[in-house]
């Protein structure tokens, strides 16, 4: 039986939640979207939540709301999925990177200072909570952002359910203007596809709602053209305004019903993921050539993935060969991530991986082991035994 690196969990409650939408007559732009948004805002402790078609769409809209545009910059980590950086280009701005802290793979505040000095017109800083572990430097990152008039957008695609050292949940935006979550199937909860932005800023909340639906405003109290929006003192019920260039980034009621059902199970998802991470920690301890990429914060992380660092050079085995040996035993692993600056699109723009030495070293050693709710202890033991068998052969 193949063991993937990640997989969603769907039960009968989730299926019935989707069926209830199909029977409701409201498939999109209906009550299930707002119900899910309220649930997730309440869960993380934020005032507002806006659900959209993907976390990529969420990052794009957040970058616009943060003020990224021509001749401004978005700074993020080189160790992330390309969407974190692409959001800056989508919004018409430039992109820069701050290297990671080699101890936790999250953005280094020290590196961010340098990046800000080199990019004085920065409007957005996007720290990534890698593997679900909250960036420990968030207060300092927020302070640095404030000092240059930039807004912090937390890329928490991995981190729904994660907890800051303060005890508050990621998404409450205590040190940011916006936080972005993913509803992709391998993330904390699944909606098929989807993303969420949380914020405590009412003005940004309304802007995000407009941007996700073509830039259209239907709120009578915010109409620009009173003469077209009202007949005497009565709002014209058909009237709406496109007030800015927006996008079709709406999410459906079907997806939100599934996500809301999944959200109710998040505590048990998190508990099992944490236990699996602790088992990996215990059983892989003492192997000289292998160590967890993050060895702190097990009680804080949402444990989206379990990344390790393997000294392939000293083993005299390539990562590709190592992964192939595991695959032959029906164990699928992955690398999170190819550094953004290594992709041809970014290399053509002049970025070089050598400028980010901590990210470069991490990429040389990174491997993500299987971790998901339905991973049994027996299957995990098989993963561990197979890895040891390859390493000590």
Render each residue's pLDDT in the chain as its tens digit; 393 residues: 999 999 999 999 999 999 999 999 889 988 999 999 999 999 999 999 999 999 999 999 999 999 999 999 999 999 999 999 999 999 999 999 999 999 999 999 999 999 999 999 999 999 999 999 999 999 999 999 999 999 999 999 999 999 999 999 999 999 999 999 999 999 999 999 999 999 999 999 999 999 999 999 888 778 888 889 999 889 999 999 999 999 999 999 999 999 999 999 999 999 999 999 999 999 999 999 999 999 899 999 999 999 999 999 999 899 999 999 999 999 999 999 999 999 999 999 999 999 999 999 999 999 999 999 999 999 999 999 999 999 987
3 state SS of 250: coil
Q: CA–CA separation, 233 vs 211, rounded Å?
A: 28
339 vs 86: CA distance, rounded Å:
13
Strand arrangement, sheet containing 306-310: 290-292, 306-310, 366-369
pLDDT value at position 90? 98
- Report d(CA 35, CA 14) in Å as an integer: 15
User: What was the pLDDT predicted at 128?
Assistant: 98
The domain ranges of the chain are 12-264, 266-391
Instruction: Rounding to the nearest 10 degrees, give the CA dihedral for residues 370, 372, 373, 377.
Output: 10
Answer for the pair 97, 347: CB distance below 8 angstroms, yes or no: no
| Burial label, 204 (beta-carbon count in 10 A; 0-12, 13-18, 19+) | buried
Q: In whole angstroms, give the CA distance from residue 163 to residue 165.
A: 7
Which structure tokens are listed for 223? 């109409």
- Say if domain 266-391 classifies as CATH 3.90.1640.30: no
- Contact (CB, 8 A) for 393 and 385: no
Third-level CATH fold of 12-264: 3.40.640
**Structure letter (DSSP) for residue 163:** B
The pLDDT of residue 299 is 96
Q: Which pLDDT does position 133 carry in this prediction?
A: 98
Q: Packing angle between helix 253-264 and helix 12-22, nearest 10 degrees?
A: 150
Instruction: Indicate the SS3 state at residue 83.
Output: helix
Q: Which ranges of 285-356 would DSSP assign to H, the alpha helix? A: 312-315, 319-328, 344-347
What pLDDT score does 84 carry?
98
161 and 302 Cβ atoms separated by less than 8 Å: yes
Write down the pLDDT at residue 4: 97
DSSP string, 165-188: TTSPBTTS-TT-SEEEEE--TTSS
- Contact between residue 154 and residue 176 where contact means Cβ atoms under 8 Å apart: yes
| d(C-alpha 188, C-alpha 302), whole Å | 7
pLDDT value of position 247: 98
């Amino acid at each position: 039986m193949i063991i993937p690196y990640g997989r969603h969990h769907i039960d009968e409650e989730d299926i019935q939640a989707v069926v209830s939408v199909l029977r409701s007559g409201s498939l999109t732009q209906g009550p299930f979207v707002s119900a899910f948004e309220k649930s997730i805002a309440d869960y993380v402790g934020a005032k507002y939540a806006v659900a959209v078609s993907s976390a990529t769409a969420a990052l794009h809209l957040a970058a616009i709301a943060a003020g990224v545009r021509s001749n401004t910059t978005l700074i993020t980590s080189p160790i992330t999925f390309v969407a974190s950086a692409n959001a800056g280009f989508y919004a018409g701005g430039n992109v820069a990177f701050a290297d990671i802290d080699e101890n936790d793979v999250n953005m280094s505040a020290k590196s961010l200072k340098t990046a800000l000095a080199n990019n004085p017109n920065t409007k957005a800083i996007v720290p990534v909570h890698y593997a679900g572990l909250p960036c420990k430097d968030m207060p300092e990152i927020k302070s640095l952002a404030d000092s240059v008039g930039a807004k912090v957008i937390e890329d928490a695609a991995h981190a729904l359910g994660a907890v800051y050292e303060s005890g508050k949940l990621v998404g409450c935006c205590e040190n940011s203007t916006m936080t972005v979550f993913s509803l992709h199937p391998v993330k904390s909860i699944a909606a098929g596809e989807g993303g969420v932005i949380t914020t405590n800023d009412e003005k940004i909340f309304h802007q995000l709602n407009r941007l996700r639906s073509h830039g259209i405003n239907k709120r009578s109290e915010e109409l620009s053209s009173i003469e077209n929006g009202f007949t005497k003192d009565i709002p014209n019920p058909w009237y709406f305004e496109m007030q800015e260039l927006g996008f079709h980034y709406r999410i459906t009621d079907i997806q939100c019903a599934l996500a809301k059902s999944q959200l109710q199970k998040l505590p048990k998802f998190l508990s099992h993921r944490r236990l699996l991470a602790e088992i990996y920690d215990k059983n892989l301890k003492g192997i000289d050539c292998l160590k967890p990429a993050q060895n702190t914060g097990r009680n804080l992380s949402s444990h989206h993935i379990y990344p390790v660092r393997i000294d392939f050079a000293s083993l005299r085995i390539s990562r590709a060969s190592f992964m192939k040996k595991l695959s032959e035993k029906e164990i699928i692993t992955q690398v999170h991530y190819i550094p953004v600056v290594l992709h041809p699109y970014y290399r053509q723009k002049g970025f070089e991986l050598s400028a980010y030495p901590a990210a470069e070293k991490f990429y040389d050693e990174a491997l993500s082991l299987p971790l998901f709710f339905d991973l049994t202890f027996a299957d995990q033991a098989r993963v561990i035994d197979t890895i040891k068998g390859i390493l000590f052969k």
